[in-house]
Amino acid sequence: SKALDLDEPVRATDNDAALARLSAVRKGYLVDPFIIHFVPRAHLQPPRPPLINIGTYIRGTGLDELVESFIGLATGQGKKAQIVSLGAGSDTRFWRLHAGTSREHLACYIELDFPENTTRKAMAVRKSKVLSAALGRSEDIQIGDGGTSLHSSIYRLLPLDLRLPPSVSLAPKLAPILDPSSPLLILCECVLAYVASAASDAVLRWFADFSSSNDGVTGVIIYEMFGLEDSFGRVMKNNLKSRHVELPGAEPYNSLDSLRQRFFRLGFEEARALTLRDFRRTHISVTEQMRIARIEMLDEVEELELVLQHYAISWGIKLSAKQANAWLEW
Ligand code: SAM
């Protein structure tokens, strides 16, 4: 029954993500004309504190850059990229890519989440002319599986529990629709920490194995809290605990190196990891930093640094056997 639904607090973390994004957009940190369509009564939602807005801005900017860069890699090979987003929630990335120059370099975009969340998203897409226009003619958009899935030629929304073994969840859903000869990017933005490591490892390994059977490349981008063993990390964990959200998958990752090792352990060949704090220093231009600093007054400068130090973007890549051979014979 609903009262005993232990997954509800985890599904509800998507509301926080969407409200933070809406707030950052309204204040002028980010540009995203689509988020408003995913937040009920968007005009009544109060802004989030500056610290959240800035964090949302840095996270969004960093992941956008990495995604665009993967699409560039695919384009360089003369191919279109396929993107699969795990625990996509109310993410608007598909619509933002589709509205920009990446549109013609995108083969398909697939979003997975719990059925309650995919149902809500499918309804929002159907209700909004702006969102559904990106998916083509209305007769080409199909709602299926009792309202929990949505299919169009370029975009799909599929219900799936990431805790299930990939052989019964990912394989039957994705193997028939992914093109084994095109580059594939897996996006995991704030989702793997909610899943026990054994289960999320199995998911990532399934994607790594998928690329040995194809002649493309598979890239994975993971964004997550990490290093939660120190005192500030414990505060962050307790915050979530008070809202009945556990992080079983965050435990093993206490350093950037442990985040990189995850990729090697699961069959990927190259990996990088960066804290949001480092990303801000090294990837955001001085002009942009000055623009951000002028938007709102931030009192908690030290707290911001601590928060940014506890979030990491890590990314890894696996080449297919065929490509690896070409590389070795170089
Ligand atoms: N990726 C989006 C973003 O960054 O804006 C949403 C992030 S939200 C914090 C976490 C999402 O992961 C939620 O939509 C939740 O339902 C989904 N999720 C968590 N555990 C999941 C699981 N076992 N299977 C499928 N989805 C899951």
In the chain the domains, ranked by start, together with CATH numbers, are 2-328 (3.40.50.150)
Q: Whose alpha carbon is nearest atom 17 of ligand 1? A: 87
Counting ligand 1 atoms within 8 A of each CB, the residue from 6, 7, 14, 121 with the most, and so the one to mutate, is 14
Nearest-angstrom CA–CA distance, 21 and 58: 11
pLDDT of residue 319: 85
Q: Distance, CA 97 to ligand 1 centroid (Å)?
A: 20
pLDDT of residue 79: 92
pLDDT of residue 312: 97
Q: Distance, CA 184 to ligand 1 centroid (Å)?
A: 20
Q: In the numeric block, which tokens belong to residue 202?
A: 């199995």
- Is the distance from CB of 39 to CB of 128 less than 8 angstroms? no
- Is the distance from CB of 122 to CB of 157 less than 8 angstroms? yes
pLDDT of residue 180: 84
> What are the φ/ψ torsions at residue 316 (nearest 5 degrees)?
-140, 160
For ligand 1, say whether the CB of 94 is within 6 Å of any of its atoms.
no
Atom of ligand 1 nearest to the CA of 14: 8
Q: Distance, CA 85 to ligand 1 centroid (Å)?
A: 10
Entry pTM: 0.96
Closest Cα partner for 273 from 222, 208, 325, 212?
Answer: 222
For ligand 1, say whether the CB of 272 is within 6 Å of any of its atoms.
no
For ligand 1, say whether the CB of 111 is within 6 Å of any of its atoms.
no
Give Cβ neighbours of residue 159 (< 8 Å, ≥ 6 apart).
Answer: 112, 113, 114, 115, 118, 119, 145, 148, 149
CB atoms within 10 A of CB 290: 9
Nearest-angstrom CA–CA distance, 104 and 157: 20
Please list the residues that pair with 217 across neighbouring strands. 319
Q: Distance, CA 98 to ligand 1 centroid (Å)?
A: 22
Q: What is the pLDDT of residues 84-125, one digit of tens each?
A: 999 999 999 999 999 999 999 999 999 999 999 999 999 999
Q: Distance, CA 4 to ligand 1 centroid (Å)?
A: 19
Nearest-angstrom CA–CA distance, 279 and 256: 13
Q: What are the residue ranges in the chain where pLDDT is below 50?
A: 1
pLDDT of residue 330: 64
Nearest-angstrom CA–CA distance, 105 and 269: 24
